[in-house]
Amino acid sequence: MNVDLTGKRILVTGGGRGIGRVLCEMLAASGARVAVHYGSSKTKAEAVAEAIGGGARAFGAPLDEIAATEKLFDDVVEEFGGLDVLVNNAGTAIKSPLGKEAFAYAADWDQTMAINLRAAGLLSRRAIMQFRKNDPPGGRLIHIASRAGFRGDTEDFVAYGASKGGMIAMSRGLARAFGRENIKSFVIAPGWIRTDIAEESIALYGEEVLTKDNALVGMARPEDVAPMVVLLASGLADHATGTSIDINSGSYVR
């Protein structure tokens, strides 16, 4: 089987580091032209775009800002002439203990939802409108959610789990609502993957604690997530639209 993304224009949010960086690398290696989005990691995103080639370019936008998120989409479409696949990968995990003062606790929820869910919804909305202009019309949405969206998260990360659960419901809704327009929507639900997010938790709790539920030995890497995204982006799995694919080392088998 040949997975070929030649001619596909793909926007990956949070492409400068972590899972997003490896997604950009593997998508480009399969022939795609990649828009590498960044929030604060400008230098890293530019280096990724430069390294992967194929007409890749870095685009900046703070995803907690609505106008900037809209502008990001405009900029990518202007530069690439359209879009075939959106990968909603950018995300944040804010530690927010129950004992926090109510307004500070609410601010953590707002920030988590703005980045992890609202921005993904805004970009999906624009992508769907853009996909309708493709010839033939259509496109693919791939959302990087989390095991936490199904299983829930620990006491300090309740909002994070809720945002990912929202993302899963959003993807299912989009898949069902727009399938007849040849628009597909998929979720990847990772468990622990060794990136900056994970390193913070490793520092807090230790790797052994984080991986104790794993069926497999050790913690997965971004390279264990990216091939599935390449496959979904290719169109070879379109009839799985609406699905969520677990990549969690067997730690939570639904």
Ligand X SMILES: NC(=O)c1ccc[n+]([C@@H]2O[C@H](COP(=O)([O-])OP(=O)(O)OC[C@H]3O[C@@H](n4cnc5c(N)ncnc54)[C@H](OP(=O)(O)O)[C@@H]3O)[C@@H](O)[C@H]2O)c1
Tokens of 205: 């709790």
Q: Which of 9, 11, 12, 18: binder of ligand X (CB under 6 A)? A: 18
Residue 140's nearest CA partner among 11, 15, 3 is 11
Nearest approach, Cβ of 210 to ligand X (angstroms)? Answer: 9
Nearest approach, Cβ of 101 to ligand X (angstroms)? Answer: 23
Tokens of 252: 């939570």
Residue 155's nearest CA partner among 118, 197, 107, 105 is 105
User: Is residue 56 near ligand X by the rule CB under 6 A?
Assistant: no
Catalytically annotated residue among 160, 205, 212, 252: 160
Q: Are 97 and 135 in contact (CB under 8 A)?
A: no
CA 227 to chain centre: 14
Interface segment toward ligand X; rule CB under 6 A; list 75-83, 89-97, 176-184, 228-236: 89-97
CA 132 to chain centre: 22
User: Is residue 89 near ligand X by the rule CB under 6 A?
Assistant: yes
Question: Number of residues in contact with ligand X, rule: CB under 6 A?
Answer: 27
User: Is residue 251 near ligand X by the rule CB under 6 A?
Assistant: no
Separation of first and last alpha carbons in the chain: 29
Nearest approach, Cβ of 80 to ligand X (angstroms)? Answer: 19
Q: Which of 11, 14, 162, 178: binder of ligand X (CB under 6 A)? A: 14
User: Is residue 20 near ligand X by the rule CB under 6 A?
Assistant: yes
User: Is residue 92 near ligand X by the rule CB under 6 A?
Assistant: yes
Helices (H), the chain: 18-29, 42-52, 66-80, 102-113, 119-131, 148-151, 158-178, 196-205, 207-211, 226-234
The footprint of ligand X on residues 182-241 (CB under 6 A) is 190, 192-193, 195-198
Is 205 marked active-site? no
CA torsion angle for 115, 118, 120, 125 (degrees, to 10)? -150
Catalytically annotated residue among 164, 205, 212, 252: 164
User: Is residue 130 near ligand X by the rule CB under 6 A?
Assistant: no
Is 184 marked active-site? no
Nearest approach, Cβ of 119 to ligand X (angstroms)? Answer: 7
User: Is residue 58 near ligand X by the rule CB under 6 A?
Assistant: no
What is the β-pairing status of strands 139-144 and 85-88?
Answer: parallel
Return residues touching ligand X (CB under 6 A).
Answer: 14, 16-20, 38-41, 62-64, 89-92, 115, 144, 146, 190, 192-193, 195-198
What residues act catalytically? 160, 164
